[in-house]
Amino acid sequence: MELSAAQIESIVRRVLGDMGGDAPASAPAGSIPKTAKVAMLTAKKHFEVKEFPIPPLEDNDILVRVEGAGVCGTDVHEWRADPFGLIPVVLGHEGTGEIIALGKNVHTDTAGKPIKVGDKIVTSVISCGECNACRNHPAHTNLCEKQGVFGLIGHRDEQPLNGWFASHLLIRSPGATYFVVNDLDLQERMLLELATVCVHAYERACSTGLMHFNTNVLLQGLGPVGLVMACVLRAAGINNIIAIDGTPMRLEMAKKIGVKTTINFREYDTLEKRIEAVKAATDGVGADFAFQCTGAPAAAADIYSYIRRGGGMCEMGFFVNNGEYSVNPHFAMCNKEINLVGSWDYSAQDYPKTIAFLKQAREMNIPIKSLITHSYPLDKLDEAMETNVSQQGIKICYVPD
């Protein structure tokens, strides 16, 4: 019987563990390639496939062979306009892959689960450990003043493998967090980071005390964020969901997920008519709670009008600065006594909850994996971004050849 390199490494680790010794710092000789390829954004709207030597592993490193990564709206914003000033950069932060080498000090993941060569892995946030949020509010490291994430780090010669749009990722950073996810398939793993954004937003919404089995929830915007948010709500037992969007394909997908009422805003020429459509789906009252999932200021201004008095809203659409909008706070917030929360990113603590959500979605046959409509190899990522911008698909992914 022939054994793979990963199987040999696993056996060696178990034997050494029984003997009380340390596992080797890396996988068996020959299993680690000398170089890795990355899709580097070298100019706006221009990826170049480059090849770099894989740095020698240090004691706290993890080397991952990339199996896939989702294309996030943040990736698209950086590709189009470089709002973060990162160029040159290897993007991709919704990634996953297989561990092919471990530093000798790495024994568990962030949740304390044993970790070994051959495990499937995802990364979460990188926290500084020094700012006010890290020191005094450790459950809210999403608010870290210097928070980082693999895939949004400018190029570094000493560590060029810091984004998931690559053949390999090197996890090398103080404060890095990561999780073993062997019990999720590739599609679930590629959706995990996006789903964590939505699980965190759901937790923020629950803090208002307004989320119940009979809550009428409105979703504004059915891009990947809005559609995964619908999946999270369904898994949580919330079935009275109204969704607003202008793309028929997305509205149809929402129905497949289990959204009860879909509203194509393009069919209504005034805000007043859209308000009436929402009220018609909520016994003439309006939504109990709303999630604003678009990055469009005009839509963000409208959403207050769909919410009943005493209702609530979670703003989760503006992960980049897309501009401002105007509302009258007397009518929009004060007179209605709106419970308003913002949602920013996620903390590492949200990952175990999201892994459980994905398993629940699988158990309930919620078709979250059908959101992945396109995949592209490393040398076609410009095309992947164009597909995203043109809204020809829903969730776009990078998957190696």
Q: Per the confidence metrics, is the pTM higher than 0.75?
A: yes
Q: What is the CATH number of the domain that holds 247?
A: 3.40.50.720
| pLDDT 10s digits, 73-95 | 999 999 999 999 999 999 999 99
Distance from C-alpha of 10 to C-alpha of 105, rounded to nearest angstrom: 16
Asked if the structure places residue 298 within a domain, the reply is yes
- Residue 90 CB-density burial (10 A; 0-12 exposed, 13-18 middle, 19+ buried): buried
For the segment 296-311, the average pLDDT, to the nearest whole number, is 96
pLDDT at residue 277 tops 70: yes
Considering the domain architecture, whether residues 23 and 148 belong to the same structural domain is answered as yes
Pair (374, 332) in one structural domain: no
pLDDT of 7: 44
Tell me the average pLDDT of the chain: 92
Both 152 and 264 in a single domain? no
Number of residues that make up the chain: 401
Distance CA 196, CA 283 (A): 32
Percent of residues, the chain, with pLDDT higher than 90 = 89
Give the model's confidence band at 22: pLDDT under 50 very low, under 70 low, under 90 confident, else very high.
very low
- Find the domain containing 303 and state its range: 195-342
At residue 40, the 3 state secondary structure works out as strand
Find the CATH number of the domain harbouring 391: 3.90.180.10
- What pLDDT is recorded for position 2? 46
| Same domain as 173, residue 28 | yes
My answer on whether 155 and 213 are in the same domain is no
Instruction: Give residue-wise pLDDT tens across range 210-263.
Output: 999 999 999 999 999 999 999 999 999 999 999 999 999 999 999 999 999 999
Are 305 and 173 in the same domain?
A: no
Q: Is the pLDDT of residue 16 over 60?
A: no
Contact 123, 99 (CB under 8 A): no
Residue 244 lies in a domain: yes
% of the chain at pLDDT higher than 70: 93
DSSP string, 280-326: HTTTTS-EEEEEE----HHHHHHGGGGEEEEEEEEE---SS------
Give the count of domains, the chain: 2
- Cβ-contact 164, 95 below 8 angstroms: yes
* pLDDT band of 11, cuts 50, 70, 90: very low
pLDDT in tens, 341-400: 999 999 999 999 999 999 999 999 999 999 999 999 999 999 999 999 999 999 999 999
226 & 248 share domain: yes
Report the pLDDT value the prediction gives residue 28, as an integer from 0 to 100. Answer: 53
> What is the pLDDT confidence band of residue 3, given thresholds at 50, 70 and 90?
very low
- pLDDT band (50, 70, 90) for residue 29: very low
pLDDT of residue 240: 97
CA dihedral for 207, 209, 213, 217, sign (positive or negative): negative
Residue 46 sits at φ, ψ, to 5 deg, of: -150, 110
- 43-59 per-residue burial string, b: 16 or more CB within 10 A, e: under 16: eeeebebbebebbebee
